[in-house]
Structure formats: structure tokens, C-alpha cells
């Protein structure tokens, strides 16, 4: 469970009651206490959203005052361990539900997308569209490449973009997700492709960070700017 810096100090700095309205006319101590409390709550919103905040404040004040706690350290450790187990189990169920829903949505999207003009499909299930044909050679799995790209979810949400950063990416073809590794080797230098990547060729049942949920189908616009040669061994 996340904690804000020096929680005891927060309580010591503030004795504001919940009913009191804080404004710039309030005392410095009140404004400081409110500000610390608000910032702590905002940065720990996920951790405290299901807590009894009255009990939370009681524990905070007891610790700050140096008073005897209502629960022993062993009792607190036990209940927090049980709470974490329940929270983790609930989160796992929610992730599985998201994964199932995303897999269904992704399959339906890809089935419809495959019927559109200009969409090609490989044996692995990767779908792609040639936006601009390139010239020359294609990279190999051990090639270093320089690319510009934008990644989106199928609802249009952009989760990553070297184009927006104005900073092309350089990497070895074999060291990215499977859909990219396969798709890049179809391209020639200067080409622009749009990849439609099934979850199993992307981040699978794990997902990636907060932006890419489990079993997410991904869309990437990729421009192969340059083949930089073979990666050093």
C-alpha cells in the first residue's frame, strides 16, 4: 500500500475538521494541513478509495500524538496482510474479466477489419495495410532500424507516439513485440504500413502498464526510415 512522505508530520501540521471550509482566509496552519492532506489523498487515491477515512484519521492522529494504538503491531500486520490478499484476489478477477472482454472485442474487430479493402493478413494473424511502398531491401530479424510510429488502441486512444515526441526510435527488429518483428520484415526502407496486431502478437494476457489492458488488440502506424545495418553480436 502506498504511503505519502512523513504521514505523521501531516497530522501534526493540521487540526482541521472535515466540516470546516478552507480558503485563502484560513490560517497558515489550516491551509498547510489541508494542502498536505489533499496532495496525499490525490497521490494515493487508489490505495485509500475503499478505506474508512474517519478510522484512517483516527489512526493518523493517534500515531502523531504518540498515544497507545487501538490495535497491536501484530494485529495491524495481520489485518493488512488479509486486506492485501483480498485486494489482490479482487484485482486478479477484474483483470481476467477485462482480458476476456478485450479478447472478444479484439476478435470481432479483426474479423471485420480483414474484410476491408487493402487489408492483408499473414499466417500468424497479423493484419497490415500498405500506406506507402518503400524501395530497396527489407530488414532482417538481426537488423537495426530507425522508425517513426504511433500506437493506438482500437477505440482510437493513442498510447505511444515517436511522431508526437519528434524522436524516431532505433532498435533491433527481433527485440520488440512479435507483431512488429514480423511486420517490419515485410517493409522496405521508406515504407509506411499500418499494423493491426492481435493480442497474442502484442502484449498478450499481461498487457503493458495502465494504457494497454490484457488481451488488447493494437494498431500501429509505422514508417521505416532507415535500415542501420546488423546489430553487433
Q: Which of 152, 106, 109, 113 is nearest to 129 (CA)?
A: 113
Fold of 105-230: Chitinase A; domain 3 (3.10.50)
Residue by residue, pLDDT tens for the chain (233 residues) are 444 434 434 443 344 444 578 888 888 988 888 898 888 888 888 777 778 888 888 888 888 888 898 888 888 888 888 888 887 787 778 888 999 999 999 999 999 999 999 999 999 999 999 999 999 899 999 999 999 999 999 999 999 999 999 999 999 999 999 999 999 999 999 999 999 999 999 999 889 988 899 999 999 999 999 998 886 66
pTM (whole model) above 0.85: no
Parts of the chain belonging to CATH 3.10.50.40: 105-230
Amino acid at each position: 500500500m502506498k504511503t505519502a512522505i512523513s504521514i505523521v508530520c501531516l497530522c501534526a501540521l493540521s487540526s482541521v475538521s472535515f466540516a470546516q471550509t478552507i480558503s485563502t482566509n484560513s490560517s497558515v496552519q489550516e491551509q498547510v494541513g489541508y494542502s498536505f492532506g489533499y496532495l496525499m489523498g490525490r497521490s494515493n487515491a487508489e490505495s485509500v478509495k475503499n478505506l474508512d477515512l474517519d478510522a484512517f484519521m483516527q489512526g493518523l492522529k493517534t500515531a502523531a500524538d504518540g498515544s497507545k494504538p487501538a490495535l497491536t503491531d501484530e494485529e495491524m500486520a495481520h489485518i493488512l496482510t488479509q486486506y492485501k490478499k483480498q485486494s489482490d484476489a479482487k484485482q486478479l478477477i477484474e483483470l481476467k474479466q477485462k482480458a476476456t472482454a478485450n479478447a472478444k472485442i479484439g476478435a470481432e474487430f479483426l474479423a471485420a477489419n480483414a474484410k476491408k479493402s487493402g487489408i492483408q493478413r499473414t499466417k500468424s494473424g497479423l493484419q497490415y495495410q500498405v500506406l506507402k511502398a518503400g524501395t530497396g531491401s527489407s530488414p532482417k530479424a538481426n537488423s537495426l532500424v530507425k522508425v517513426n510510429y504511433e500506437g493506438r488502441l482500437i477505440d482510437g486512444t493513442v498510447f505511444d507516439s515517436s511522431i508526437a515526441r519528434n524522436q524516431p526510435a532505433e532498435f533491433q527488429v527481433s527485440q520488440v513485440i512479435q507483431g512488429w518483428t514480423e511486420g517490419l520484415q515485410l517493409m522496405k526502407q521508406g515504407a509506411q504500413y499500418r499494423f493491426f496486431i492481435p493480442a497474442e502478437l502484442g502484449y498478450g494476457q499481461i498487457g503493458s502498464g495502465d494504457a494497454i489492458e490484457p488481451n488488447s488488440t493494437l494498431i500501429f502506424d509505422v514508417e521505416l526510415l532507415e535500415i542501420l545495418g546488423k546489430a553487433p553480436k
